[in-house]
Structure 1
Amino acid sequence: MPHTTRRRPLRADAQRNHDRIVSAARDVFARDGAGAALKEIARQAGTGSATLHRLFPSRRALLEAVFHDRVEELCALAARRAEESGPGPALLAWLGDLNAYARTSRGLAASLLHDGQDADLLEQNEGCQAMITDAAGRLLRRAQQAGAVRPEIRAEDLLALVNAISLATEQHDDDAQANRLLDIAIKGL
């Protein structure tokens, strides 16, 4: 059952379990990667495996819930950055946020993208890819209009750049290197 298409609201106890499982999954996926044991997620959430599987019938359903919620948070952060800073600094700060998010995702997006049956998650019109591309595009357009970023840069370029940095540094667990690489790339914008 996809995260965004629930037929009816959950009972209060089921919603609490759902929220605890998603929270635990975030932590476990960040620590162990997207292939983490679902049993460990249920244990950390304080629920049984049956509860986890009733609420999330597949690993993909759980990954989608975690990914979608985190992308929504990241998009909201883009809007706050735009309100709090000038166009150039807002874009650069949000790219830093995106870089941090990519580092903590530890294979979450890659696991969804590299599995052929899951690739549609990030390609849906209302899906995560569209949401994040839209957020990046709004910040980028403002920065370009202010003359802070070269006009030929595209939102997709920025997202690919941050993803590449994440993939290049994922196995090294080196936040400083990821930040240095982003800083080098930003200077070229």
Structure 2
Amino acid sequence: MSRPLRADARANHDRLLEVAAAAFAREGTGASLKAIAAEAGVGIGTLYRRFPTREVLVDAVYHNEVARLCAAAPDLLAELPPVDALATWMERFVDFMATKRAMVGVLRADEDRLHTRELLRTAIATLLDGGAARPGVDPNDVLLALGGITLIAGEERERALATRLIGLLLHGVAGQ
């Protein structure tokens, strides 16, 4: 069992993940690790101590982004009206999928893909149960529809298209 990181080491770890996620989304997984370390304000040695290979870093970024996205659901419900919380979460999901798409060539076969899907489904269920949906809306259906939106918008390389399609999905989900 590994022991918890010191506060400064945790901050470095978190900054590296945040900067790497942005770099991978922008440049793909071939982004310079040296540039990622520099932008995060740490040396390349610190990056390699935390993430010994590019693949380990990509995997850590992916799992961190899933966790952040899922953890946002209850926070959004506390801050926004339910339908707005769901809309905001869906927009974040599209951004997450764009980052994931940039990493897909390096991501290991996701042994816990079902676990990841369940985390996403649970986040959507939280938002739907929070008052964002008409009765009977299945979180799995919403997740599949969002996946389809990201595929369509990704192929078109048009973020605005994703937002329009999310609007249509929300109309069906919320019954408005």
Distance 1:159 1:111, change over 3 A: farther
CA–CA separation in structure 1 for the residues paired with 2:9 and 2:3? 12
Distance 1:118 1:40, change over 3 A: farther
* Equivalent position SS for 1:65: helix
Matched, 1:119 2:110: yes
Greater mean alpha carbon deviation, residues 78-87 or residues 155-164: 78-87
CA–CA separation in structure 2 for the residues paired with 1:60 and 1:160? 27
CA–CA separation in structure 2 for the residues paired with 1:138 and 1:19? 26
Matched, 1:65 2:60: yes
Task: Show structure 2 runs of 5+ residues with no match.
Answer: none
Task: Show structure 1 runs of 5+ residues with no match.
Answer: 1-5
Contact preservation (8 Å) 1:60, 1:118: no
RMSD across aligned positions (CA): 3.1
1:141 — aligned with what? 129
TM-score between the two structures when normalised by the length of structure 1? 0.70
Kindly state the Cα deviation for residue 88 of structure 1 after the two structures are TM-superposed.
Answer: 4.0
2:27 to 29, 32, 39: 32
Matched, 1:107 2:107: no
1:96 — aligned with what? 91
Distance 1:46 1:82, change over 3 A: closer
1:185 — aligned with what? 169
User: What aligned pairs does 1:15-26 form with structure 2 within 5 A after superposition?
Assistant: 15-26=10-21
**2:19 aligned partner, one-letter code:** A
Contact preservation (8 Å) 1:20, 1:45: yes
**1:179 aligned partner, one-letter code:** T
CA–CA separation in structure 2 for the residues paired with 1:88 and 1:162? 15
CA–CA separation in structure 1 for the residues paired with 2:21 and 2:160? 22
Matched residues, number:
173
| CA deviation profile, 1:43-84 (whole Å, cap 9, x unmatched) | 433444443222112334322332333333323321123234
* Equivalent position SS for 2:69: helix
Contact preservation (8 Å) 1:22, 1:65: yes
CA–CA separation in structure 2 for the residues paired with 1:41 and 1:12? 20
Q: Identical aligned pairs, as a percentage?
A: 34
CA–CA separation in structure 2 for the residues paired with 1:85 and 1:45? 31
TM-score between the two structures when normalised by the length of structure 2? 0.74
**1:149 aligned partner, one-letter code:** R
CA–CA separation in structure 1 for the residues paired with 2:32 and 2:154? 19
**1:80 aligned partner, one-letter code:** D
